[in-house]
Amino acid sequence: MELLRDCVADERPHDETRVLRSLLILEQLAVAGQPHSLSLLAARLHIPKATLMRLIEALEQQGYVTHTPDSRGADRGIALGPRAAQLALLTLANNAFTRGCRSVLRALVEQLGESCNLTALEGDSVLYIERVETHEPLRLHMQPGMRVPLHCTASGKLFLSQMAPAERKQLLARLPLKRMTPRTLTDTTLLEAELDRLAVRGIGIDNEEFVRGMVAVAVPVRDAQGGVLASLAAHAPTARASLQDLLEAVPRIEAAAAKLVPLLSRRDLDREPMRSR
């Protein structure tokens, strides 16, 4: 990153300098893991605001960055866009990291008989990193690169429950708590109470809150210091398994999560781990 900053410090309007600036913007947003304002990006990257605005506009047109609304609905935050996630996933594809993750997930799917996935906190949503589907015909089809809400998914609620209270409150204030099913918690007070209970248990649950007829349980993948690197979750249709069935499988999911730690610690998911409160 220092090498990129040295290049960015050069104010010559060469094409290669512009390219390096664009890469540095994407790198900063990836490391932060949350939206940045234009002012904050300009200060951290030492790029003039006018120049930065032009770069952001070009990146947004191509889908590499996007604007996220603040609590008042104004587009103030700049975050990574879907094309940046696709690029990251293509980079990861067919390498040792992907093979290692799929091996662990595949073994867990064989144990549980249900689909399992690895996710990360990406801005204000959950990003699917890897997933292995059950062989059963009745299943929820998801794929790496997809994003799902925080407030009504097992992984999302796990990430929220592990945040410091002030950070969580700030995030919930700007999240659109959309009702996905009749069981979705859209009242902030009720959701926070649920997250407090989950924080004590150290898991996340989805009791038909994201998709009607689907339940899920998520456990954290932690580093040696206790930071949350990612979430490992198991999903099942209620026609085949209950939420209680998945809760009883938590020890097996946690054992699989422990096997993922060396893989994720080496990569660090290109961001700082989220520290438990």
pLDDT digits (tens, 9 = 90+) for 77-133: 888 887 887 777 666 555 677 888 899 999 999 999 999 999 998 878 999 989 999
Q: Could you give the C-alpha distances from 268 to 84, 87, 98, in angstroms and in order?
A: 17, 17, 14
Annotation: CATH topology of 95-270: Beta-Lactamase (3.30.450)
Residue position matching structure tokens 């889908």: 63
CA–CA distance, 83 with 88 (Å, rounded to integer): 9
Selected residue with higher pLDDT from 196 and 3: 196
Residue position matching structure tokens 């007829």: 213
Fold matches, 2-83 and 95-270: no
pLDDT digits (tens, 9 = 90+) for 169-194: 888 998 999 999 999 999 999 999 99
DSSP classification of residue 277: -
Residue position matching structure tokens 């990153």: 1
Output the six-digit token pair for 83: 């094309």
Rg (CA), the chain: 19
- Does the pLDDT at position 48 exceed 70? yes
Alpha helices in the chain (DSSP H): 2-9, 15-32, 38-45, 49-61, 82-92, 96-112, 154-161, 165-174, 188-201, 243-248, 250-267
Domain-by-domain residue ranges, the chain?
2-83, 95-270
pLDDT given for residue 1 in this prediction: 42
Which residues are within 8 A (CB) of 140 and not within 5 positions of it... i.e. 6 or more apart?
115, 211, 214, 235, 237
Annotation: CATH topology of 2-83: Arc Repressor Mutant, subunit A (1.10.10)
